[in-house]
Amino acid sequence: MKLRGTMSIDHKGHLLIGGCDTVELAHQYGTPLYVIDEAALRQKAREYRRAFSHYMPGSEVIYAGKALLTSAICRIIDDEQLSLDVVSGGELYTALSADFPPERIYFHGNNKSPSELAMAITHRVGRVVVDNLHELKLLQETAYALGAEVKILMRITPGIETNTHAYIQTGQFDSKFGFPLGTKETIAAIECAARRMPNIRLMGLHCHIGSQIMDLRTLGLAAEYMVRFMAGLRDQLGLELAELDLGGGLGIRYYGDEEPPEPEEYARTISKTVISLCRQLNLPIPKVMVEPGRSIVGEAGTTLYTVGAVKDIPNIRRYVAVDGGMADNPRVALYQAVYEACLANKAAEQPTELVTIAGKCCESGDILIKDIMLPSVEPGDILAVFSTGAYNYSMASNYNHLPRPAMITVYRGISEIIVERETYADLVRLDRIPPRLAASRKTAAGNMQSAASR
Ligand SMILES: Cc1ncc(COP(=O)(O)O)c(C=O)c1O
At the fourth CATH level, which superfamily is domain 108-292?
Alanine racemase (3.20.20.10)
Mutate to test the pocket of ligand 1, among 48, 164, 208 (most ligand atoms within 8 A of CB): 208
Contacts of 80 (CB under 8 A, 6+ apart): 42, 45, 46, 49
Mean pLDDT for the stretch of residues 99-124? 98
Contacts of 208 (CB under 8 A, 6+ apart): 155, 170, 171, 177, 246, 247, 248, 249, 291
User: Quick one: pLDDT band at residue 453, thresholds 50, 70, 90?
Assistant: low
pLDDT at 85 over 90: yes
Contacts of 422 (CB under 8 A, 6+ apart): 398, 403, 404
Q: What is the DSSP letter of 112?
A: -
- The chain-wide mean pLDDT, for the chain, equals 95
Q: Is the CB of 360 under 6 A from ligand 1?
A: no
Global pTM?
A: 0.95
What does the pLDDT read at residue 451?
A: 65
* Chain centre distance of CA 94: 14
Per-residue pLDDT tens for 218-230? 999 999 999 999 9
Q: Is the peptide bond before 292 cis (omega within 30 degrees of 0)?
A: no
- Which pairing describes strands 353-358 and 20-21: parallel, antiparallel, or unpaired? unpaired
What does the pLDDT read at residue 172?
A: 67
> What three-state secondary structure class fits 380?
coil
Q: What is the DSSP letter of 67?
A: S
The three-point CA angle 182-187-190 to 5° equals: 130
Q: Is the CB of 249 under 6 A from ligand 1?
A: yes
Please tell me the distance between residue 427's alpha carbon and the centre of ligand 1 in angstroms.
30
Mean pLDDT for the stretch of residues 92-120? 98
Please tell me the distance between residue 96's alpha carbon and the centre of ligand 1 in angstroms.
20
User: Quick one: pLDDT band at residue 352, thresholds 50, 70, 90?
Assistant: very high
Mean pLDDT for the stretch of residues 347-364? 96
Distance CA 108, CA 64 (A): 10
What does the pLDDT read at residue 169?
A: 60
What does the pLDDT read at residue 18?
A: 98
Q: What's the full length of the chain, in residues?
A: 454
What does the pLDDT read at residue 445?
A: 63
What does the pLDDT read at residue 163?
A: 62
For helices 114-122 and 133-146, the axis angle rounded to 10 degrees is 50
Protein residue with least CA distance to atom 5, ligand 1: 248
362 is catalytic: yes
pLDDT at 168 over 60: no
Mean pLDDT for the stretch of residues 123-151? 98
> What three-state secondary structure class fits 242?
coil
CATH of range 8-36+298-428; options 2.40.37.10, 3.40.190.10, 3.40.50.1100, 3.40.50.150: 2.40.37.10
What distances in angstroms separate CA 168 from CA 99, 336, 361, 391, one per listed residue? Answer: 30, 12, 24, 12
Q: List every span in the chain annotated with CATH 3.20.20.10.
A: 108-292
Per-residue pLDDT tens for 171-196? 667 788 999 998 999 999 999 999 99
pLDDT at 386 over 70: yes
The 10 Å Cβ neighbour count of residue 341 is 22
Dihedral pair phi/psi, residue 183, rounded to 5°: -75, 160
What does the pLDDT read at residue 136?
A: 98
Q: What percent of the chain has pLDDT over 70?
A: 95
Mutate to test the pocket of ligand 1, among 62, 211, 295 (most ligand atoms within 8 A of CB): 211
Please tell me the distance between residue 212's alpha carbon and the centre of ligand 1 in angstroms.
9
CB 244 within 8 A of CB 289: yes
Per-residue pLDDT tens for 257-308? 889 999 999 999 999 999 999 999 999 999 999 999 999 999 999 999 999 9
- Which pairing describes strands 60-64 and 8-9: parallel, antiparallel, or unpaired? unpaired
Q: Residues of 277-301 as b/e, b for ≥16 C-beta within 10 angstroms?
A: bbeeeebebbbbbbbbbbbbbbbbb
Catalytic pick among 20, 74, 278, 362: 362
CB 361 within 8 A of CB 387: no
* Chain centre distance of CA 36: 14
Q: Is the CB of 404 under 6 A from ligand 1?
A: no
User: Strand runs (DSSP E) across 323-391, as ranges?
Assistant: 341-343, 353-358, 367-374, 382-386
Contacts of 419 (CB under 8 A, 6+ apart): 34, 70, 393, 404, 406, 407
Please tell me the distance between residue 424's alpha carbon and the centre of ligand 1 in angstroms.
33
* Chain centre distance of CA 203: 25
Indicate the helix (H) or strand (E) that contains 273. helix 263-281
Mean pLDDT for the stretch of residues 423-430? 98
Mean pLDDT for the stretch of residues 252-257? 92
Per-residue pLDDT tens for 328-349? 999 999 989 999 999 999 999 9
Q: List every span in the chain annotated with CATH 2.40.37.10.
A: 8-36+298-428
Mean pLDDT for the stretch of residues 426-433? 97
